[in-house]
Amino acid sequence: MCECDDEDDEDEEHEAEDTEDEGKREESDHGGAPVDKDLVRSARDAARFKRRETSDGVEADLTRELVTAVSGGDVVTVRELLERGVPADACLSPSKSAWSLLHVSCTEGRGDKRVVELLLDFGADPNATTTDGMAPLHFCAMESHIECARVLLDGGADPNKLDSEGLNPLLRACMARKVQFELADLLIKRGTRVDYADPEGWTALHMAARYSLDRVAALVLSSGAPVDMVIPSNQWTPLMLCCTEGAGSRSILEMLIKAGASVENRSDVSITALHIACYNNYPELVGLLLDAGADTSVRDKHGRSVLHKACLAAQPSLASARILVERGVDARARDNQGQTPLHYAAIAGSEPFCKLLLMRDSSRGRNTKQVLVDMEDEKGRTPLLAVCEGPLDAPSVVRLLLSYGADATHTDNSESSALNLAVRAGNLGAVQMLLEQAPYDINHPDEDCRTPLHLALAGQSEFDPSLFTLLLEHDADFLDAGIPRLDRLNGSQLSSPLLAAVRKDHIELVQRLCGTKPPRQSGLAQCCPQGHDLQPFAGAETFTCDVCCLPATFLGERQEYSQSPHLQRLATWALLTSQGECGPAASRASTLVASWSSSGYAEHAITFTVEPAIRDLQQHFGLGSAEIFFLCIDEHARKAPSHSFFAFQRVRSKQK
């Protein structure tokens, strides 16, 4: 209460107070001494008049002193200051927190009921609110100050008072997760509604289930709390919240089921309590829900069964999955993308989970059309392909799937094999396992004509020799036979691994590849735009492939293919044109070519002065980079760069 200016109002108040039994004395805990109501009243009256004579500065000092005494639970000082006229309902920082002295007394672990009683006796408002709308009873509930809460309720505190978030003291207590049964019982007995839901739809039972407050859950259930009330935003019930991560109380689940909670309620994404328990690895709750009749065939909006959910867990729930499998849950169920639980377990890298599912499938008998290990999803990927492409390198799962007969030669809808996918994902262990234990095509191209070596390079932001070395040791072809030359030379992603390595500045890889001795047939095929076998022309100086649209030139003598001089020229050309201008890249090209001096072709490559020729050809004929490259290759074979125009005319005439 604040200072009164109307003395008539005060006189009326005194008259009303005088009608009470003035001679009555009561025992109190105010410092252990009895309090005479008449003396308190007289002190209060004297304080009002004295306060009018006190300057603002002195009053502020006394108020701060009272705050300190209340905060420290100093009952004697609190009583002394109140009797001197310091207001019991003083507001601290009205424009900020608006805490009252009762708020201070009920929070921060103090909770001295004697101080609360004194403040109430001297006129403090038990329902005063902070800027957040919280009353002192909210603070008592959050801090579990039971005796203070009792004094406040006796003094007129509203047990259903809502703060600015729409929470009553009971909900605040549950949210603080340290509510005591006695406090909840006190609030409910004093009239707190157990069916009240906050603006988001949470009741005390929702919170008790979510935070595993067993005794509070039992109390609100026995007090008539609705057992299946749903949260509007997601349609979750207390039973579902009981199965969430960090909850998992068996006793609450049993109480809810006994109270009639439905095990078939679905959330907004069609999951049930059984889905949630499987996902959060609560095998005990899974068993209880199944015993209560939970439907194992229910799918969520993504088509996932409860077994899919068990596989989705951060640590796949083997115990829950074993219960589900023993109860006959279909291990071949597909989600909306056609994936089975085995796909999920493989992607998660869980060998024990995969083994459980495969053993269950084997016990049912092998059906060649529906065998679990080779079931495909919508992308045509089997579990083997799924684990090879997955975020985890799981060679043990690859080995397990192969041991159960997984087809390592199977390709998905993009023509990618398990090896292609494992290389693209950078899963070195899976690649090694496939190369050691499965039939494979080391040069198998996907639908974009990318071989494993292409994919290894595409997936490497920094050069890591491990994967490349492994592929090269198994005879991976670093040339681009079979890829149309116009595609690979016009900036397409279909460049050979060598050209791609040069463009990505993987100099170490370029040196490694150029030092490799390719098979003769591969070297000859490199000269043909369509990758045709040119073995019959090996002894000729020049030749034309009759089945190709463009002529090709035989680069050097037959024995020179062991050193692959044309590969050096390809790399040099890529360096010279990689940045759109020849000049800035020329020094890098010279440095690179100089590192090949031991091959005997460095001098020939360094004299590859194509910059003037490229300018002239672009200016006079409007040629693209691919056509210019053909001419440069032709002139290099003849060691006569100045004849480029004649070479171009020959090409044009032969095309016509």
Helices 507-514 & 465-473, crossing angle to 10 degrees? 20
Q: Do 350 and 397 touch, CB atoms closer than 8 A?
A: yes
Cα radius of gyration rounded to whole Å, the chain: 42
Domain closes at, from 193, 226, 252: 193
Q: Is 565 contained in some domain? A: yes
Domain closes at, from 170, 193, 216: 193
Domain that holds residue 62: 1-193
pLDDT at res. 450: 82
Q: Do 112 and 101 touch, CB atoms closer than 8 A?
A: no
Residue 30: C-alpha distances to residues 114, 119, 402 (Å) = 6, 11, 81
Q: Is 325 contained in some domain? A: no
List the one residue out of 456, 348, 437 whose CA is nearest residue 397. 348
Q: Is 62 contained in some domain? A: yes
Question: Which of the residues in the chain have pLDDT under 50?
Answer: 1-57, 109, 368-369, 480-494, 515-618, 620-656
Q: Do 523 and 563 touch, CB atoms closer than 8 A?
A: no
pLDDT tens column, 153-199: 999 999 999 999 999 999 999 998 877 889 999 999 999 999 999 99
Owner of token pair 């071949």:
332
CATH of the domain at 37: 1.25.40.20
CA distance 10 to 90: 19
Residue 446: C-alpha distances to residues 51, 206, 387, 411, 442 (Å) = 91, 53, 18, 9, 12
pLDDT tens column, 234-256: 999 999 999 999 999 999 999 99
pLDDT at res. 590: 39
| HSE-CB of 395 using CA atoms within 13 angstroms | 14
pTM across the whole model? 0.69
User: How many C-beta atoms surround the C-beta of residue 342 within 10 A?
Assistant: 28
Domain closes at, from 172, 193, 214: 193
Residue 206: C-alpha distances to residues 160, 200, 203, 225, 282 (Å) = 18, 11, 5, 10, 19
Q: Is 592 contained in some domain? A: yes
User: How many C-beta atoms surround the C-beta of residue 163 within 10 A?
Assistant: 18
Q: Is 560 contained in some domain? A: yes
Q: Is 451 contained in some domain? A: no
> Which is it for the CA torsion 45, 48, 54, 57, positive or negative?
positive
Q: Is 174 contained in some domain? A: yes
Q: Is 333 contained in some domain? A: no
Q: Do 410 and 385 touch, CB atoms closer than 8 A?
A: yes
Query: DSSP alpha helices (H): ranges in 459-564?
Result: 465-473, 485-489, 497-503, 507-514, 520-526
CA distance 238 to 231: 9
pLDDT at res. 205: 98
Number of domains in the chain: 2
Extended beta strands in 230-319, E state: none
SS3 99: strand
pLDDT at res. 59: 57
CA distance 455 to 138: 62
Q: Do 403 and 363 touch, CB atoms closer than 8 A?
A: no
Q: Do 171 and 187 touch, CB atoms closer than 8 A?
A: no
Alpha carbon 532 to its chain's center = 49
CA distance 274 to 290: 8
Burial (CB < 10 A; 0-12, 13-18, 19+), residue 5, is: exposed
